[in-house]
Amino acid sequence: MPNTTTVDKTTAAPDDRATGRGSSKKRKNKAARRAIRLARLAHRTRRGMAPIYATAAQAIAGSALSVPADGWKTALAATAAGTATTVAWARWDGRGLVTKRHRRKTLPARKDFIAAASAVTTGGGLVTAMAATGGLQLGHSPYPALTLAWGVGHGIYWWRRNKDTAAPAPTLSEQMQMWQNEVACPDGSLPGSRLVDVVTTDYGWTGIIVVKKGNWRQAHTAAANIAGDLDLPEESLQIEKAMGQSAKRAIIAVFNTNPLQQPVDHPGPQILDTTTGQAKVGLFYDGEPAHYAFWKPSGPVHTVVYGATDGGKSRFLDMLLGTERHNGIVSWVCDPQGGQSLPRWREAVDWYEDTAQGGLAMLYAVRNVMYERSARYSMMEFTDHKGRRLRGRDHFVVGDPDPLISVTIDEAHRVLNLQGAPALVLEIIQMARKCGIKIRLVFQGPKANMFGNAPESTDIREQAQSGNTVMFRTASTLTDSIGLPGWDVNPSQLPMYWPDKTSTAGLGYIKGPDNRQAQFRAYFDRDPAHWATTGETPTVEKSAAAVCGKAYDERLDRLAARLRGETPVLPDDAFTGPTDVSRLTPSTDPIAQAAAAIEAEAPAGTDERVAAFLAERGRPVGRITIAQETGLTVSAVKNALTRLKTKGQAIAVDRGIWAHPDHADNDIDTSELTQAA
């Protein structure tokens, strides 16, 4: 039979159960856990309970240091060290010993320094006294009361101070935090810069960059590097000058989707504000309208348009020509590409030429009109803003008495390369604004050879760019600064396609009334034929048409010949100037030429009809009423009144109000004043 051994398994020795050792361990573990919880609670409430903890520490320290005979010396040394540390804390900012990022920027307030110094010195003195005299000594010594008074006094200041400053510091936005960590750090693109005023938009977010040194151009120059720091595509970030703010500030816009990617349809000719002469021709990335100036108070504004193939030039011109047609502006157009760029406007403008030679003939006619108007305006009577009657107007007023003439030359380099064209264009650009004529030159780029190979070429470019400059995508980085001098933009870097593979036509920069160095996109005219086939075609006044010669008179005949497939021929006098006497009148006197042109405009008997109407009316009357009642044009009535005044048969009673000399003192109808205002 095998031997078997039996082992008794027990969880605790009989002695342990008898002596209670297990329960003792449990009590110790429970006490340890309670101590840990108390320590955690003390840590969580350390800021609010600091005065109580400090008071308790004083009592314990005073009693502990009273045991050794020389404990008061230790307390005294600790008090001196604490006082020195407090003074250093209040006066030293660690310059040279810590990095700039961790250096304290401001010293403590005076009241905080006084409170800290009081707490250290009085508390240290109290501990020293207790250590020298036997400790806290409850029951019969003043130390308990003094310790309590110390805790209450300094605790009140501590709690009141924390109540004023307890609000947590605002957390930085995600964009600002990333800027601080990636861009403004010592090895970032703009060390020391700040990002402020961050606003979330429908397309991403915008903010203001404040550079540490220099001006906003530092941020613009570093745009590509900033995009890298922020881990963004370069084309989804744009930086421009913060208009009206410090030169250190730049606007940054970050796009999730470029807001200019979707074209905005042209709303119609009402984009022109006839009170200011400015038109809204597109939108900037932030939704603000981009303005183009047709004229300003001093006269028309010349324009130069640049853009490579498929940059959006032709559709932009369609929009401008439609605006002119429906706002009373006379449009003369030269499209040397056989009319292929602007085909909708052959029969929709006052004068259209589709060859370079025809454009040159048009420029000669423009110069003739310029000198005819100049001679007429130099002798014109007008009323200034103070109500004074003056002679000789030195500026142009749209529609008074003549319409604005806008001359558009597409592919202008083909015309400017013709002999004599650069000198002619420069003469017009320098003098035509006061006569109500604006020149709009269109090129593929701003290279010098585009403006003709002549000494005047650079001057033409400078004069044209002093007005509106519209620059769509170009083909060369070498010419970006030439087309928009002083601007830190790169039209050649504009993409040809959006990420969805659609064209970016119309995307570019515009230097005009807004003066923003920011991307804009022109309105897209989906149906230029609608604006070309509706409304009336504005034409020049008869006095201007009279000096244009056969080139202007036969323009429709040449158009009909072109439509029949024939090659029209310009008349022999198409390239002659205002010094050709046979082109104008038998007299070479410009005053006489202007007078003859005015007479030619007025129908026979105009003066007599106006004089008879004034005599019959019996009281002062406005020019518009005279024109309506007599069936004459307002321009003819104005000229007739000027001649009648010279003869003593009419008198100007008020602005735009005229009367027969015998009726000048009669009352004026208020409706006439309202109409003339």
Dump the DSSP string for 212-224: SSS-THHHHHTHH
Mean pLDDT of the 38-58 span = 73
Domain end among 226, 255, 284: 255
The answer to whether residues 448 and 302 belong to one domain is: yes
pLDDT score recorded for residue 126: 76
Confidence of residue 35 (pLDDT cuts 50, 70, 90): confident
Question: Of 107-111, 182-186, 621-625, where does the model show the most confidence?
Answer: 182-186
Beta carbons within 10 angstroms of residue 86's beta carbon = 18
Question: Which of 127, 177, 655, 580 is closest to 388 using CA atoms?
Answer: 655
Judge whether residue 588 has pLDDT over 70: no
Crossing angle for the helix pair 143-165 and 50-65, to the nearest 10 degrees: 150
Identity at 329, one-letter amino acid code: I
**Predicted pLDDT of residue 602:** 55
pLDDT of residue 510: 94
Would you tell me the crossing angle of helices 421-431 and 457-465 to the nearest 10 degrees?
A: 30
542 and 463 inside one domain: yes
Mean pLDDT of 659-666: 86
Q: Report percent pLDDT > 90 for the chain.
A: 27
- Coil, strand or helix at 290: strand
Query: What's the rounded mean pLDDT across residues 403-427?
Result: 92
Rounded to an integer, what distance in angstroms lies between the CA atom of residue 484 and that of residue 493? 14
The answer as to whether 295 is a domain residue is: yes
Q: Are 562 and 543 in contact (CB under 8 A)?
A: no
Confidence of residue 233 (pLDDT cuts 50, 70, 90): confident
**Predicted pLDDT of residue 155:** 72
Residue 171: its pLDDT value, please? 57
Same domain, 190 and 45: no
656 and 638 part of one domain:
yes
Mean pLDDT in residue range 421-439: 92
Q: Average pLDDT in the 168-183 region?
A: 77
- pLDDT of res. 169: 47
Residues forming beta bridges with residue 303, ordered by sequence position = 440, 468
Q: Is residue 289 part of a domain?
A: yes
Rounded CA gap, 643 and 634, in Å? Answer: 14
At 581 the pLDDT is 34
pLDDT band at 104 (very low <50, low <70, confident <90, very high): very low
Q: How many Cβ atoms from other residues are within 10 Å of residue 629's Cβ?
A: 15
Are the C-beta atoms of residues 230 and 193 closer than 8 Å to each other? Answer: no
Residue 89: alpha-carbon gap to chain centroid:
48
CA atoms of 537 and 118, how far apart (whole Å): 91
Question: 127 pLDDT band (50/70/90 cuts)?
Answer: confident
Q: What is the pLDDT of residue 630?
A: 83
Give residue 196's region: left, alpha or beta (phi > 0; psi -120 to 50): beta
Does any domain span residue 12? no
pLDDT at 121: 82
Give the model's pLDDT for residue 348: 93
Specify if 264 maps to a domain: no
pLDDT of residue 234: 81
pLDDT tens, residue by residue, 502-527: 999 999 999 999 988 889 999 998 89
Structural domain for 323, as ranges:
269-563
Report which DSSP code applies to 207. Answer: E
Question: CA 655, CA 381: separation in Å to the nearest integer?
Answer: 12
Tell me which amino acid residue 674 is: T
CATH number at residue 289: 3.40.50.300
With contact defined as beta carbons under 8 Å apart, do 277 and 398 qualify?
yes
**106 found inside a domain:** yes
Which of these three, 137, 165, 193, is where a domain ends? 165
Where is pLDDT greater, at 310 or 538? 538
Output 544 or 577, whichever has higher pLDDT.
Answer: 544
Residue 393 has pLDDT above 80, yes or no: yes
User: Is the domain of 158 the same as that of 195?
Assistant: no
Task: Name the 3-class secondary structure at 379.
Answer: coil
pLDDT band at 53 (very low <50, low <70, confident <90, very high): confident
| Spatial separation of the C-alpha atoms in residues 561 and 563, rounded to whole Å | 5
Higher model confidence: residue 587 or residue 593? 593
- What is the pLDDT averaged over residues 455-484? 85
Please say if the pLDDT value at position 87 is more than 70: yes
Provide φ and ψ at 128, rounded to 5°.
Answer: -60, -45
C-alpha–C-alpha distance, residues 660 and 620, integer Å: 7
pLDDT per position as a tens digit, 244-261:
889 999 999 998 888 888
Mean pLDDT of the chain: 81
Same-domain pairing of 457 and 525: yes
Count up the domains in the chain and report the number.
4
User: Roughly what angle, to the nearest 10 degrees, separates helices 606-617 and 623-630?
Assistant: 110
Q: What pLDDT score was predicted for residue 236?
A: 83
Mean pLDDT score, 412-423 = 90
Confidence category of residue 295, pLDDT binned at 50, 70, 90: very high
Scan for tokens 């409170």, then name that residue.
115
Instruction: Answer yes or no: do 321 and 274 share one domain.
Output: yes
Average pLDDT over residues 69-91: 78
Q: Are residues 121 and 193 in the same domain?
A: no
- 444 and 306 within one domain: yes
What residues have CB less than 8 Å from 116, skipping those under 6 apart?
A: 86, 89, 90, 108
pLDDT(407) > 90: yes
- Whether residues 157 and 181 share a domain: the answer is no
Q: Tell me, yes or no, if the pTM score tops 0.95.
A: no
CATH code of 641's domain: 1.10.10.10
User: Is 407 domain-assigned?
Assistant: yes
Ranges assigned E (strand) in 108-256: 194-201, 204-210, 237-241, 249-255
Say if 569 falls within a structural domain. Answer: no
- pLDDT tops 80 at residue 178: yes
- Per the document, the length of the chain is 677
Buried b / exposed e over 126-135, threshold 16 CB at 10 Å, is bbbbbbbeeb
Q: Is the pLDDT of residue 197 over 70?
A: yes
Per cent of the chain over pLDDT 70 is: 84
**H-assigned helices in 222-349:** 223-229, 313-325
pLDDT at 383: 80
Q: What is the SS3 assignment for 438? A: strand
Q: How many angstroms separate the CA atoms of 163 and 487, rounded?
A: 52
- 3-state class (DSSP) for residue 28: helix
Please name the amino acid found at residue 273.
Answer: D
Place of tokens 């209450």: 152
Q: 671: pLDDT confidence band, cut at 50, 70 and 90?
A: low
Final residue before a domain boundary, out of 165, 190, 225: 165
Kind and range of the H or E run holding 387: none
Q: Is residue 262 part of a domain?
A: no
Considering the domain architecture, whether residues 196 and 298 belong to the same structural domain is answered as: no
**Do 536 and 639 fall within a single domain?**
no
